[in-house]
Amino acid sequence: MKVLVTGANGFIGRATCAELARRGHDVVAAVRRIESARDIPCARAIAVGPIGPATDWRAALDGIEAVVHAAAMAHSVTRKSASEESDIFAVNAAGTRALAEAARGAGVRRLIFLSTVKVLGETTGGRVPFSEIDPPNPDSGDAYARAKAEAETALAAIARAPLEVVVLRLPLVYGPGVKANFAALIRLARSAPPLPLASVANRRSLLFLGNLTDAIVLALRHPGAAGETFMVGDGETVSTPELIRKIAGFVGRPARLFSFPPPLLRLAATLLGQGDRARRLLDSLELDDRKIRDQLGWQPPFSLDQGLALTLRPPATDRPRQETPSA
């Protein structure tokens, strides 16, 4: 299958290109600038410039059978200005709509859209895990989640023959080369400072990059995926202190956690202007991914511990060299 991957030079896009190529697909990598396509495993790379409502997709979509839309403007933990929010919506909502319309016009058969579980909210609190039957309810302060929700709505309106749309809603994705929040957690575990998190009893769903790319490949080809929305996760939940202990164990550092009342932690963080960061450490965000397992027969090939081990494995250049046995 000839597959166009957008955001091909990003954390998820690059891994998706590699997995598709490994499975024998003809991969076309869409990037903003052609020089950023270096070392991407693909048959061809094409520069499409900035993604937005005016992006010209015609050359990139020529002969394409399926699209994996991994490109997005990422969010940060700080509140966005009006202009920054406008950019997020231009890329993640209007840009997605324009790509889908162009793909349908070009005769593309399937589009995989990588969305976020946060279209349903920032936290599951004490309630049951989020599932596909929950109505969208993105946090008013999260422009990224609101733009993804708007994109999902647009795709539902655009999807008609020949184009089939599949939406994958993702929790936090981790894997080799991960950045942002998960990378910060790794740095914290490596430095091993005393942390007042031992009393935190939240439940977080995560997704290893290798599990995500496996689910993407399945969603591209499975007839039962057409027109559907799926939650995708590792199938295990973990609390923040459990995750820090696991990471610390893999990097050979102690997890120096002590108890402190979470409500007081939240209050202190809010007073210091770090309320959003505290929410990511203290709150629960759990998803139920039984639908993709039951409907498509998907099983994540990697466990949480396996995913963490691969994420935290030193780069090949940093690993001890193996001596060649003498004859």
Mean pLDDT along residues 307-318:
80
Mean pLDDT along residues 81-107:
95
HSE-CB for 156 with a 13 A CA cutoff: 8
- Give the chain's domains with CATH numbers: 2-173+208-235+286-301 (3.40.50.720)
Instruction: Give the position of tokens 């770090």.
Output: 274
Lowest mean pLDDT among 1-5, 89-93, 214-218, 317-321: 317-321
Give pLDDT tens digits for 171-204.
Answer: 999 999 999 889 999 999 999 999 999 999 999 9
Distant-in-sequence, close-in-space partners of 201: CB < 8 Å, separation ≥ 6? 239
Give pLDDT tens digits for 265-285.
Answer: 999 989 999 888 888 899 999
How many CB atoms sit inside 10 A of residue 178's CB? Answer: 19
- Which pLDDT belongs to residue 315? 67
Strand partners for 2? 26
φ, ψ dihedrals at 8, nearest 5°: -70, -20
SS3 state of residue 9:
coil
pLDDT > 80? residue 320: no
pLDDT > 50? residue 319: no
Give pLDDT tens digits for 294-306.
Answer: 999 999 999 999 9
DSSP assignment of 185-218, as one string?
HHHHHHH---BS-TT----EEEEEHHHHHHHHHH
pLDDT > 80? residue 327: no
- Which pLDDT belongs to residue 321? 41
Q: Residue 54 and residue 177: Cα distance in Å, rounded? A: 31
- Which pLDDT belongs to residue 79? 54
Instruction: Return the sign of the alpha-carbon dihedral for residues 92, 106, 35, 172.
Output: positive
Q: Residue 270 and residue 268: Cα distance in Å, rounded? A: 5
Lowest mean pLDDT among 85-89, 109-113, 319-323: 319-323
Average pLDDT over all residues of the chain? 93
pLDDT > 80? residue 252: yes
Catalytic residue status for 174: no
Mean pLDDT along residues 252-258:
95
The single residue of 11, 113, 130, 144 carrying the catalytic annotation is 144
Q: Residue 31 and residue 37: Cα distance in Å, rounded? A: 7
The pTM score is: 0.93
